Amino acid sequence: QSLEPCALPLSYTLSPGSGQQVEQSPSALRLQEGTSPTLRCNFSTTMQSVQWFQQNPGGGLISLFFLTSGTKQEGRLKATANPKECYSTLHISTSQLEDSGTYLCAGRHSAPRGPAACLQTAAAPAATASASGRTCTAVFAQLWVS
């Protein structure tokens, strides 16, 4: 099944809860505890599925959500995926200290893509992207809650 590509650059934005969009560069966000940020990941093509991860300060990688479309919620975390419009969001309600870490989103394409396809569409200079098979994974942003 072939999906139509989206005419969007691969980019990452952070919204610190005020509705103001902040580009990833610099790829870090410091928040006061209790703030409710929304992280958004835009893809350059339509996705079959999106997965969100958190890498905590100790280095462990935690799978937060796997979505094909729609919305999922786990406690204070809510993820949405709109693969046809090439984006996914992760909302953190009432952030806590343990929410600090590096957040990553991974999108599974409808067709195999080589590493160059991801790297060439990375819009933010601070963003790093890599590809393996059908998946492009990008380091999203570092989040510190204090």
Q: Is residue 122 in some structural domain?
A: yes
Cα–Cα dist 93/79, whole Å: 11
Which pair of tokens denotes residue 25?
């560069």
Output the average pLDDT for the chain: 67
Residue 6 lies in a domain: no
**Residue-level pLDDT at 27:** 59
What's the CATH code of the domain at 111?
2.60.40.10
Q: What is the CA radius of gyration of the chain?
A: 14
Range of 127's domain? 11-145
What is the SS3 assignment for 140?
strand
Q: pLDDT confidence of 86, banded at 50, 70, 90?
A: confident
Check: pTM over 0.75? Answer yes or no.
no
- Asked whether residue 19 is domain-assigned, the answer is yes
- Residue entry with tokens 């059908």: 134
Return the closest-CA partner of residue 12 out of 3, 2, 21.
21
Residue-wise pLDDT tens digits, 45-85: 677 788 888 887 677 788 899 998 899 999 999 999 887 77
**Per-residue pLDDT reduced to its tens digit, 14-55:** 555 544 333 333 356 788 889 888 888 777 667 778 888 888
Domain count, the chain: 1
